[in-house]
Structure 1
Protein backbone atom coordinates (compact mmCIF):
# COMPACT_ATOMS: atom_id res chain seq x y z
CA UNK A 1 0.00 0.00 0.00
CA UNK A 2 1.29 3.45 -0.91
CA UNK A 3 1.91 5.82 1.97
CA UNK A 4 0.12 9.09 1.27
CA UNK A 5 2.14 12.23 1.69
CA UNK A 6 1.63 15.95 1.48
CA UNK A 7 3.98 18.90 1.33
CA UNK A 8 3.72 22.65 0.92
CA UNK A 9 6.38 24.99 -0.43
CA UNK A 10 6.05 28.78 -0.14
CA UNK A 11 8.03 30.96 -2.53
CA UNK A 12 7.85 34.74 -2.15
CA UNK A 13 8.18 36.43 -5.56
CA UNK A 14 8.48 40.15 -6.36
CA UNK A 15 4.74 40.88 -6.37
CA UNK A 16 3.00 37.63 -5.40
CA UNK A 17 3.43 34.52 -3.25
CA UNK A 18 3.51 31.07 -4.84
CA UNK A 19 2.16 28.26 -2.66
CA UNK A 20 2.91 24.84 -4.17
CA UNK A 21 1.26 21.70 -2.85
CA UNK A 22 2.50 18.16 -3.47
CA UNK A 23 0.61 14.97 -2.69
CA UNK A 24 -2.93 14.39 -1.46
CA UNK A 25 -4.96 17.26 0.01
CA UNK A 26 -7.26 14.96 1.93
CA UNK A 27 -8.92 14.51 5.30
CA UNK A 28 -6.42 13.41 7.91
CA UNK A 29 -3.48 14.65 5.85
CA UNK A 30 -3.72 18.44 5.88
CA UNK A 31 -3.96 19.50 9.53
CA UNK A 32 -0.36 20.77 9.81
CA UNK A 33 -0.47 22.43 6.40
CA UNK A 34 -3.78 24.08 7.24
CA UNK A 35 -2.27 25.63 10.39
CA UNK A 36 0.80 26.81 8.48
CA UNK A 37 -1.36 28.30 5.71
CA UNK A 38 -3.54 30.19 8.20
CA UNK A 39 -0.49 31.67 9.92
CA UNK A 40 1.02 32.91 6.64
CA UNK A 41 1.96 36.59 6.48
CA UNK A 42 -0.35 38.20 3.92
CA UNK A 43 1.99 40.96 2.74
CA UNK A 44 2.13 40.78 -1.05
CA UNK A 45 1.49 43.29 -3.80
CA UNK A 46 -0.98 41.37 -5.97
CA UNK A 47 -1.92 38.11 -4.32
CA UNK A 48 -1.35 34.38 -4.27
CA UNK A 49 -0.87 31.63 -6.79
CA UNK A 50 -1.73 28.17 -5.54
CA UNK A 51 0.19 25.60 -7.55
CA UNK A 52 -1.59 22.24 -7.67
CA UNK A 53 0.52 20.71 -10.47
CA UNK A 54 1.89 18.01 -8.15
CA UNK A 55 -1.36 17.26 -6.32
CA UNK A 56 -2.63 13.74 -6.95
CA UNK A 57 -5.97 14.03 -5.13
CA UNK A 58 -8.10 16.55 -3.27
CA UNK A 59 -11.27 16.06 -1.25
CA UNK A 60 -13.75 18.39 0.42
CA UNK A 61 -11.30 19.00 3.29
CA UNK A 62 -8.67 20.20 0.81
CA UNK A 63 -11.18 22.45 -0.95
CA UNK A 64 -12.27 23.78 2.44
CA UNK A 65 -8.67 24.64 3.29
CA UNK A 66 -8.31 26.62 0.04
CA UNK A 67 -11.65 28.42 0.52
CA UNK A 68 -10.81 29.34 4.15
CA UNK A 69 -7.42 30.67 3.06
CA UNK A 70 -9.15 32.66 0.30
CA UNK A 71 -11.54 34.22 2.83
CA UNK A 72 -8.56 35.35 4.90
CA UNK A 73 -6.86 36.73 1.77
CA UNK A 74 -9.99 38.53 0.51
CA UNK A 75 -10.16 40.59 3.71
CA UNK A 76 -6.81 42.07 2.62
CA UNK A 77 -8.26 42.58 -0.91
CA UNK A 78 -5.69 40.27 -2.52
CA UNK A 79 -6.40 37.84 -5.34
CA UNK A 80 -5.87 34.10 -5.75
CA UNK A 81 -5.31 32.05 -8.91
CA UNK A 82 -4.90 28.28 -8.94
CA UNK A 83 -2.71 26.27 -11.31
CA UNK A 84 -4.23 22.88 -12.19
CA UNK A 85 -2.84 20.87 -15.09
CA UNK A 86 -4.16 17.37 -14.30
CA UNK A 87 -7.54 16.59 -15.92
CA UNK A 88 -8.69 14.50 -12.94
CA UNK A 89 -7.98 17.33 -10.46
CA UNK A 90 -9.52 19.86 -12.88
CA UNK A 91 -12.70 17.73 -12.95
CA UNK A 92 -12.82 17.69 -9.14
CA UNK A 93 -12.62 21.50 -9.18
CA UNK A 94 -15.50 21.62 -11.67
CA UNK A 95 -17.65 19.13 -9.72
CA UNK A 96 -17.16 21.12 -6.49
CA UNK A 97 -17.74 24.40 -8.40
CA UNK A 98 -14.51 25.86 -6.99
CA UNK A 99 -13.68 26.78 -10.61
CA UNK A 100 -16.60 29.24 -10.52
CA UNK A 101 -15.05 31.07 -7.55
CA UNK A 102 -11.35 31.05 -8.50
CA UNK A 103 -9.56 31.27 -11.82
CA UNK A 104 -8.07 27.89 -12.72
CA UNK A 105 -5.03 28.26 -14.96
CA UNK A 106 -2.55 25.90 -16.63
CA UNK A 107 0.62 27.92 -15.94
CA UNK A 108 2.26 30.29 -13.48
CA UNK A 109 2.51 32.91 -16.24
CA UNK A 110 -1.26 32.79 -16.86
CA UNK A 111 -1.96 32.90 -13.10
CA UNK A 112 0.35 35.93 -12.69
CA UNK A 113 -1.55 37.78 -15.42
CA UNK A 114 -4.90 37.07 -13.74
CA UNK A 115 -3.90 38.23 -10.24
CA UNK A 116 -2.49 41.45 -11.72
CA UNK A 117 -5.42 42.23 -14.02
CA UNK A 118 -8.29 40.66 -12.11
CA UNK A 119 -10.87 37.96 -12.84
CA UNK A 120 -14.60 37.84 -12.31
CA UNK A 121 -15.95 34.42 -11.36
CA UNK A 122 -19.49 33.15 -11.72
CA UNK A 123 -19.77 32.94 -7.93
CA UNK A 124 -18.38 35.22 -5.26
CA UNK A 125 -16.58 33.72 -2.29
CA UNK A 126 -19.54 34.63 -0.04
CA UNK A 127 -22.00 32.90 -2.42
CA UNK A 128 -19.97 29.68 -2.50
Structure 2
Protein backbone atom coordinates (compact mmCIF):
# COMPACT_ATOMS: atom_id res chain seq x y z
CA UNK A 1 0.00 0.00 0.00
CA UNK A 2 1.29 3.45 -0.92
CA UNK A 3 1.94 5.70 2.06
CA UNK A 4 0.52 9.16 1.35
CA UNK A 5 2.68 12.11 2.28
CA UNK A 6 3.15 15.80 1.71
CA UNK A 7 6.19 18.07 1.67
CA UNK A 8 6.57 21.83 1.38
CA UNK A 9 9.61 23.77 0.23
CA UNK A 10 9.79 27.55 0.61
CA UNK A 11 12.16 29.51 -1.61
CA UNK A 12 12.77 33.25 -1.46
CA UNK A 13 13.22 34.81 -4.89
CA UNK A 14 14.09 38.43 -5.72
CA UNK A 15 10.52 39.70 -5.77
CA UNK A 16 8.34 36.80 -4.59
CA UNK A 17 8.26 33.74 -2.38
CA UNK A 18 7.83 30.33 -4.01
CA UNK A 19 5.96 27.73 -1.98
CA UNK A 20 6.27 24.31 -3.62
CA UNK A 21 4.16 21.36 -2.50
CA UNK A 22 4.88 17.72 -3.24
CA UNK A 23 2.44 14.89 -2.59
CA UNK A 24 -1.15 14.91 -1.36
CA UNK A 25 -2.80 18.03 0.08
CA UNK A 26 -5.37 16.06 2.02
CA UNK A 27 -7.06 15.86 5.39
CA UNK A 28 -4.82 14.30 8.02
CA UNK A 29 -1.63 15.17 6.14
CA UNK A 30 -1.51 18.97 6.07
CA UNK A 31 -1.74 20.03 9.75
CA UNK A 32 2.00 20.77 10.13
CA UNK A 33 2.16 22.51 6.75
CA UNK A 34 -0.87 24.62 7.61
CA UNK A 35 0.92 25.81 10.78
CA UNK A 36 4.07 26.62 8.80
CA UNK A 37 2.07 28.66 6.28
CA UNK A 38 0.33 30.61 9.04
CA UNK A 39 3.70 31.44 10.63
CA UNK A 40 5.28 32.56 7.34
CA UNK A 41 6.65 36.10 7.28
CA UNK A 42 4.78 38.02 4.57
CA UNK A 43 7.69 40.30 3.72
CA UNK A 44 8.01 40.14 -0.06
CA UNK A 45 7.87 42.75 -2.81
CA UNK A 46 5.12 41.34 -5.03
CA UNK A 47 3.63 38.22 -3.55
CA UNK A 48 3.56 34.47 -3.56
CA UNK A 49 3.59 31.66 -6.05
CA UNK A 50 2.18 28.33 -4.92
CA UNK A 51 3.76 25.61 -7.01
CA UNK A 52 1.54 22.53 -7.25
CA UNK A 53 3.35 20.84 -10.14
CA UNK A 54 4.22 17.86 -7.91
CA UNK A 55 0.88 17.60 -6.09
CA UNK A 56 -0.81 14.29 -6.81
CA UNK A 57 -4.14 14.97 -5.09
CA UNK A 58 -6.00 17.71 -3.22
CA UNK A 59 -9.20 17.63 -1.21
CA UNK A 60 -11.39 20.31 0.36
CA UNK A 61 -8.99 20.59 3.31
CA UNK A 62 -6.14 21.37 0.91
CA UNK A 63 -8.25 23.95 -0.93
CA UNK A 64 -9.20 25.48 2.41
CA UNK A 65 -5.56 25.78 3.41
CA UNK A 66 -4.71 27.58 0.16
CA UNK A 67 -7.73 29.91 0.40
CA UNK A 68 -6.97 30.79 4.03
CA UNK A 69 -3.34 31.51 3.17
CA UNK A 70 -4.48 33.67 0.24
CA UNK A 71 -6.76 35.66 2.55
CA UNK A 72 -3.82 36.30 4.86
CA UNK A 73 -1.73 37.41 1.87
CA UNK A 74 -4.47 39.70 0.48
CA UNK A 75 -4.87 41.49 3.84
CA UNK A 76 -1.20 42.49 3.43
CA UNK A 77 -2.05 43.66 -0.12
CA UNK A 78 0.23 41.08 -1.74
CA UNK A 79 -0.65 38.89 -4.72
CA UNK A 80 -0.76 35.16 -5.17
CA UNK A 81 -0.65 32.86 -8.22
CA UNK A 82 -0.88 29.09 -8.35
CA UNK A 83 1.00 26.78 -10.73
CA UNK A 84 -1.09 23.75 -11.72
CA UNK A 85 -0.03 21.49 -14.59
CA UNK A 86 -1.99 18.31 -13.83
CA UNK A 87 -5.29 18.21 -15.78
CA UNK A 88 -7.17 16.43 -12.98
CA UNK A 89 -6.14 19.00 -10.37
CA UNK A 90 -6.76 21.85 -12.85
CA UNK A 91 -10.32 20.50 -13.28
CA UNK A 92 -10.77 20.42 -9.50
CA UNK A 93 -9.71 24.08 -9.38
CA UNK A 94 -12.28 24.88 -12.08
CA UNK A 95 -15.07 22.90 -10.39
CA UNK A 96 -14.39 24.62 -7.05
CA UNK A 97 -14.07 27.99 -8.86
CA UNK A 98 -10.68 28.69 -7.27
CA UNK A 99 -9.53 29.61 -10.79
CA UNK A 100 -11.96 32.56 -10.69
CA UNK A 101 -10.34 33.91 -7.53
CA UNK A 102 -6.61 33.30 -8.23
CA UNK A 103 -4.62 33.22 -11.43
CA UNK A 104 -3.71 29.66 -12.37
CA UNK A 105 -0.45 29.38 -14.30
CA UNK A 106 1.31 26.54 -16.11
CA UNK A 107 4.85 27.65 -15.23
CA UNK A 108 6.76 29.69 -12.67
CA UNK A 109 7.55 32.34 -15.30
CA UNK A 110 3.87 32.73 -16.21
CA UNK A 111 2.93 32.93 -12.50
CA UNK A 112 5.63 35.55 -11.90
CA UNK A 113 4.17 37.73 -14.63
CA UNK A 114 0.67 37.28 -13.18
CA UNK A 115 1.63 38.54 -9.71
CA UNK A 116 3.38 41.57 -11.22
CA UNK A 117 0.35 42.51 -13.32
CA UNK A 118 -3.09 43.57 -12.13
CA UNK A 119 -4.86 40.24 -12.61
CA UNK A 120 -8.51 40.53 -11.66
CA UNK A 121 -10.48 37.38 -11.04
CA UNK A 122 -14.16 36.91 -11.73
CA UNK A 123 -14.76 36.45 -7.99
CA UNK A 124 -13.26 38.41 -5.13
CA UNK A 125 -11.76 36.48 -2.26
CA UNK A 126 -14.55 37.77 -0.01
CA UNK A 127 -17.23 36.50 -2.42
CA UNK A 128 -15.65 33.06 -2.72
Q: Same fold (TM over 0.5)?
A: yes
The residue that corresponds to 1:123 in the other structure is: 123
- Identify unmatched segments of 5+ residues in structure 2: none
In structure 2, C-alpha distance between the alignment counterparts of 1:111 and 1:78, rounded to whole Å = 14
| 3-state SS in 1 of match to 2:85 | coil
Instruction: Quote the offset at 1:118 in angstroms.
Output: 2.0
Matched, 1:75 2:75: yes
- Alignment partner, residue 91 of structure 2: 91
Give the equivalent residue in structure 2 for 1:105: 105
Alignment check: 8 A CA contact 1:79 1:118 kept: no
Find the aligned partners of 1:95 and 1:22 in 2 and give their Cα distance.
22
Q: Within 2, Cα distance between the matches of 1:102 and 1:32?
A: 24
Question: 1:32 corresponds to which residue?
Answer: 32
Moved over 2 A (4+): none
Deviation at 1:12, TM superposition (A): 0.2
For this pair of structures, how many residues does the alignment match? 128
Alignment match, 1:44: 44
The 1-side partners of 2:84 and 2:52 are apart by: 5
Aligned-pair Cα RMSD in Å: 0.4
